[in-house]
Amino acid sequence: MQQFPCPFCGLRDEREFHFAGEAGKTRPDTTKEISDADWTAYLYYCTNAKGPSREIWVHTTCQEYFAMTRDTVSMEVLSTEALNEDAA
C-alpha cells in the first residue's frame, strides 16, 4: 500500500485518506445573487489535471482536512500542508 503524509499524524496507509476535491474552489457567496453558471462551476466543473495537482484531502482517522500536491500520473506526493487562515 502507498503511504500518504498527514500533516498532523505523519505517514499513514492510503486507505485512511479520502480525496475531497480540487484546491482553490471557493463556495459562492450565498448572501448575494448567484448565477446558475457559477453554481455549476463550483459544484461540478474541475481541472482534472494530468500531472501535478493541488487538492484537498481528509485524513479520516484524525478528521483533519489538508492540502496535498500530488502527481496524478506517478502518484508521488509532492507536498502536504495544514489548512490555516493564511493558506486558503
Least distance CB 77 / other proteins (angstroms) = 11
The 10 Å CB-count burial string (b at 16+, else e) for 36-45 is eeeeeeeeee
Does the protein bind other proteins through residue 43 (CB under 8 A)? yes
48 vs 63, beta carbon nearer other proteins: 48
Q: Which three cell numbers stand for residue 70?
A: 500530488
* Residue 13, amino acid: D
49 binds, among Zn ion, other proteins, none (CB under 5 to 8 A by kind): other proteins
Does the protein bind other proteins through residue 27 (CB under 8 A)? no
Please give the helix or strand (H or E) that residue 13 lies within, else none.
strand 10-13
Q: Which of residues 53-82 bind other proteins (CB under 8 A)?
A: 72-75
